[in-house]
Amino acid sequence: MVMFGITGDLAKRKLLPAIYDLANRGLLSPSFSLVGVGRRNWSHEDMVEYVKECVQNAARTPWREPMWEQLAAGMRFVTFENFEDDEAYERLAKVLNDLDETRGTHGNRAFYLSIPPNWFPAVTERVARCGLIDESPGSWRRVIIEKPFGHDQESARELDRLVARIVRPDDVFRVDHYLGKETVQNILALRFANTIFEPLWNSSYVDHVQITMAEDIGIGTRAGYYDSIGTARDVIQNHLLQLLALTAMEEPTSLDAAAVRSEKEKVLDCVRLGKDLSLTTARGRYGSGFQGGVKVRSYLEEDGVPGESTTETFAALRLTVENRRWAGVPFYLRAGKRLARRVTEIAVVFKQPPFLPFSSAATAGMGNNTIVIRVQPDEGITLRFGSKVPGTHMELRDVSMDFGYGASFNEESPEAYERLILDALLGDAPLFPHQREVDLSWRILDPVIEHWSQQGAPQTYRPGSWGPQSAIDLLARDNRVWRRS
């Protein structure tokens, strides 16, 4: 694996510990080699020490010296002045050829581009020019790229054209780390391995679906990245639309990548926005105030945010899926920072019974039956339904039946990047969005971004709340309310 951007924050916190954890679990070949690419003037030994520190700080599995020595023996570092340094690519080619001879990597190469998208043209052009991507008989070449996959539909297509210079479309692995989480994968198991849910998973029984990704923190030191992207591009275009696709898709013929991808693409192709985006979308940004007893700054007061910024830190959409299964069922998506708590969940809210033989007083404490899939934290599934309160008179109240991963399984869930890196090395891609999915996602979001660009500044909301008033109004127009997750 050739990792561009190995000294970055993502590699430090997630990628390098995940590689060690895979090796520690016996899931990497003994010949696996890691070549780091960066601007630091490091020797191979310097990189080994850096990776060791990252692993010891963040690895999930215990430290094992023999395993580490085996992994470290295959680590190399190549210094780049910048990504346009032609001589550095020649040095990289020599290192890779040496590893083929000394480690037995047989020409198999995965290029992990953990770099800003504006560097992709320079990297892909030079990787292609110096022959790094040329396949030899019996070997493979793959490219792994991190989101964002462009900033609109056209830029995403341009990115695809750049990567197509060096590998075939099926050898491009677009990382959406949410798709590697156990609870996201469990959506398929919940729906298609159980007969009690699937017959109800349609417009005859479902009233609406809410998909929430809330964070209780601000942007921190990410102003340079975040102010040019915003919440909608950062998480709705990828994470939340992927969760929608998994929730709404039809049963695939198998779990092969092509079969799962085909069903997700069909759903995304059916997604429609409301006719009046002023009424079916909402955006906001957090103001100053107190959260958890601590005074916090507004978005505009964060370091590096320009005073004239109109970037949103909260976004909500009302979407529909125009097919037979979901006709008439709205999907509400929301995401934001400095909200009441950190939570990512999918709530499938069912319709009220057409007739209740109880008095209105007896059912005053009852809401809609709901299945909640908790992606993070406290991963699991909650089923909410009505039950009689003990006593001499008839009174109904909502109760919960809860499944938690931590309570039901002894095994600790692997980190999402462990699964994603392993699947990329194996060439197995069911958890990676294909270019067609990315294209369809931008088709959905682009009109919203264009509409917002003409609306001025986002509405301010209080830190520790659940977003701006416009988001509450969005559901109130349909006589619904957001779940207090």
Catalytic residues: 239
Which alpha helices (DSSP H) does 32-181 contain, by range? 44-58, 65-72, 86-102, 120-129, 153-163
The C-alpha atoms of residue 159 and residue 260 are separated, in whole angstroms, by: 23
Q: 365 with 385: CB under 8 angstroms?
A: no
334 with 461: CB under 8 angstroms?
Answer: no
DSSP string, 12-60: IIIIHHHHHHHHHTT-S-TT--EEEEESS---HHHHHHHHHHHHHHH-S
The three-class DSSP label of residue 66 is helix
* Residue 113 CA: distances (Å) to CA of 29, 34, 145, 320, 347: 22, 13, 5, 35, 34
For residue 446, what are the CA distances in angstroms to 236, 238, 314, 335, 438?
11, 13, 17, 17, 12
Task: Label the pairing between strands 109-113 and 281-286.
Answer: unpaired
How far apart are alpha carbons 83 and 2 in whole angstroms?
14
d(CA 439, CA 267): 13
Classify the C-alpha dihedral 170-174-176-180 as positive or negative: positive
Neighbour order of strands in the sheet with 34-38: 75-79, 34-38, 2-4, 109-113, 141-146, 172-175
Residue at 310: amino acid letter: T
